[in-house]
Amino acid sequence: MATIQSNLQAVNTRIAAACAAFGRDRADVRLVAVSKTWPAEAVREAAAAGQLDFGENYLQEALDKIAALSSLPEKLSWHFIGPLQSNKTRPVAEHFDWVHSVDREKIAERLNAQRPEGAPALNLCIQVNISGEASKSGVEPAALATLARAVARMPRLKLRGLMSVPEPTGDEALSRRRFASLRKLLEELNRDGHALDTLSMGMTTDLEAAVAEGATMVRIGTAIFGQRHQALE
């Protein structure tokens, strides 16, 4: 039976192979292990194998894990990657290192106001709806520049880049076109004076396409932990 440690090795091998194939430096692609619905013990096992970045969607479940693992000798980095409602911004601002899923100025304003004084700036990615689905979260590309300018002015947030969760597809060429469109949006923002360094894109089924188009963070769950458990929230 595969272990989390061996699964992590396999995922890191995939990332390294994709980097080699597309002329990327492996050090430029960060693996975020998506631990949503998995218990604290699974995160503990991954941390013991050297994985330090973890992505969570469900707030109460995540807070329970953060508390349970606070005494680990390893310093874990917690990434909130799910849709974020206004009434849940405070605990995210207080307990997470990254938020990948901001798509409204109101959410950013609340995170900025609720980030504890003296804490490092909260790393933030704007989620963009690059596949045009009505059901998907994310700001429309046409509204991205306005939102980015607003977020960049908020002193307790650090705008790092863009995130996307495109519609699943088995068409690698289509995946690459969608990821390329996110990269181009980031490049446009940087030409406008931002200094963004993060493209959070790519999951278990499409990480190679994401790496090919410039991903600096890939969010991998199933290939590390297995099929998802029932959510606790």
What is the maximal distance between C-alpha atoms in the chain?
Answer: 50
What confidence tier does 206 reach under pLDDT thresholds 50, 70, 90?
Answer: very high
- Tell whether 230 is covered by a domain: no
- Of the pLDDT bands very low, low, confident and very high (cuts 50, 70, 90), residue 207 is very high
Q: What is the pTM of this model?
A: 0.95
CATH of the domain at 138: 3.20.20.10
Q: Is 232 a member of any domain?
A: no
Structural domain of 33:
4-225
12, 10, 106: which is closest to 52 by C-alpha? 12
Let me know if residue 231 belongs to a domain.
no
- Enumerate residues 6+ apart whose C-beta is below 8 A from 57: 34, 36, 80, 81, 82, 83, 231
Per-residue pLDDT band for 227 (boundaries 50, 70, 90) equals confident
Query: Looking at the 3D structure of the chain, how many domains does it have?
Result: 1
**pLDDT average, residue stretch 209-220:** 98
Torsion, Cα 57 63 66 71, to 10 degrees, reads -170
What's the one-letter identity of residue 121?
A: A
What mean pLDDT value characterizes the chain? 94
Q: In sequence order, what are the residues at sequence separation of 6 or more whose Cβ sits closer than 8 angstroms to the Cβ of residue 32?
A: 53, 54, 55, 79, 81, 200, 217, 218, 219, 220
Mean pLDDT value of segment 41-53 = 97
Query: What confidence score (pLDDT) does residue 233 get?
Result: 46
Q: Is residue 46 part of a domain?
A: yes
Convert the pLDDT of each residue in 162-174 to its tens digit: 999 987 888 889 9
